[in-house]
A = this chain, B = another copy of it.
Amino acid sequence: MNFDREMESRVKETEAILKAYLPDESGWARTVMEAMNYSVNAGGKRLRPILMAETYRLFGGTDKIIEPFMAAIEMIHTYSLVHDDLPAMDNDEYRRGRKTTWVVYGDAMAVLAGDGLLNYAFETALKSFGMPGSDADKKAAALSILAEKAGIHGMIGGQTADIEAENLGDQVTQEHLLFIHEHKTAALIQAAMMAGAVLAGAEDAQVRLVEKAACEIGVAFQIQDDILDVTSSLETLGKPVGSDAKNQKTTYVTLRGVEAASQEQREMSDHAVKLLESLNQEGFQNEFLIELIRSLITRIK
């Protein structure tokens, strides 16, 4: 398997699915639709929908029912970035080399574009009820997972704890930081993979296993972000490095040092892979998914 080529084709497929589900830009409310599409079309790894589709495949899923859910999770991820970038939050002017949504459309429209994306994510996932490929209870279960992991007991909870951490400075504990990573970053990875599993008909114990693995994948992914902020360059990363140090932000790296942080994220990633490979004996296998997970902690951007 040529991983890079496979990945490229997965990204292309995902972009096409996203495009099909993004709103038309028309009417009196055209501007918010433009701002939403601008935000989603800014690019990115499309990691969450790809992890969702690959977990769906792992458990034997083959239907188009996964597509509205793929679009929905990328909309949720994007809305969180749009709101995070606001002057009221991180006040970031650039992301992925492009001006952030509020810089282009103003803060009021960026608030609405974020709201619009979150709301549209649910509208989009709800379209699955008109599609074949899974029964209504499974669709509702996948929707509930998406909602719970995106909300105050998931991603929004992590963002809240992150804001609280800023006021604590170097008083932030490793326990607090782990809570942030598990919620702000890992919860949406969990939502992606668990929803994929549920829609493919995975059993409860299998969904719990995926939840555990996805948590480790998410935290390892976030630690790699923190490591790259120390070890990479603007050219490679596409955004300023050293921003955590500049903002005196406590991260896994400031708490544990680069070496120990690298070691820990490798262990988490290895353990997540081991968990998923334990499904082989039940007949569930997806080599590309394993490669993808391994690639997340060796990535350079």
Asked if A129 and B108 sit within 8 Å, CB to CB, the answer is no
Q: Verify if A111 is at the interface (C-beta below 8 Å from B).
A: yes
Of chain B, the residue at the smallest CB distance from A165 is B28
Asked if A152 and B29 sit within 8 Å, CB to CB, the answer is yes
Helix, strand, loop or mixed for chain A's interface? Answer: helix
CA distance A11 to B122 in the complex (A): 29
| A 122-151 contacts with B by CB, 8 A | 122-123, 126, 129, 136-137, 139-141, 143-144, 147-148, 150-151
Asked if B160 and A120 sit within 8 Å, CB to CB, the answer is no
A157 to chain B, nearest CB (A): 3
CA distance A84 to B265 in the complex (A): 41
Which residue of B30, B33, B140, B157 contacts A32 across the interface (Cβ within 8 Å)? Answer: B157
Asked if B108 and A28 sit within 8 Å, CB to CB, the answer is no
Which residue of B86, B115, B122, B139 contacts A156 across the interface (Cβ within 8 Å)? Answer: B115
CA distance A137 to B140 in the complex (A): 10
Asked if A151 and B123 sit within 8 Å, CB to CB, the answer is yes
CA distance A129 to B89 in the complex (A): 35
Asked if A144 and B126 sit within 8 Å, CB to CB, the answer is yes
CA distance A98 to B17 in the complex (A): 45
Instruction: Check A86/B111 contact, CB under 8 A, given A144-B123, A152-B32, A157-B27.
Output: yes
CA distance A18 to B148 in the complex (A): 18
Residue numbers in B under 8 Å from A158 (CB-CB): 29
Q: Verify if A242 is at the interface (C-beta below 8 Å from B).
A: no
Q: Verify if A1 is at the interface (C-beta below 8 Å from B).
A: no
Q: Verify if A112 is at the interface (C-beta below 8 Å from B).
A: yes
Which residue of B33, B111, B141 contacts A152 across the interface (Cβ within 8 Å)? Answer: B33
Asked if B122 and A31 sit within 8 Å, CB to CB, the answer is no
Residue numbers in B under 8 Å from A31 (CB-CB): 160, 163-164
Q: List 25 A-B contacts (CB under 8 A).
A: A28-B157, A28-B160, A28-B164, A28-B179, A29-B158, A29-B161, A29-B183, A30-B160, A31-B163, A32-B152, A32-B160, A36-B152, A89-B108, A89-B111, A114-B115, A115-B118, A116-B151, A116-B152, A119-B152, A120-B152, A123-B148, A123-B151, A126-B144, A126-B147, A136-B137
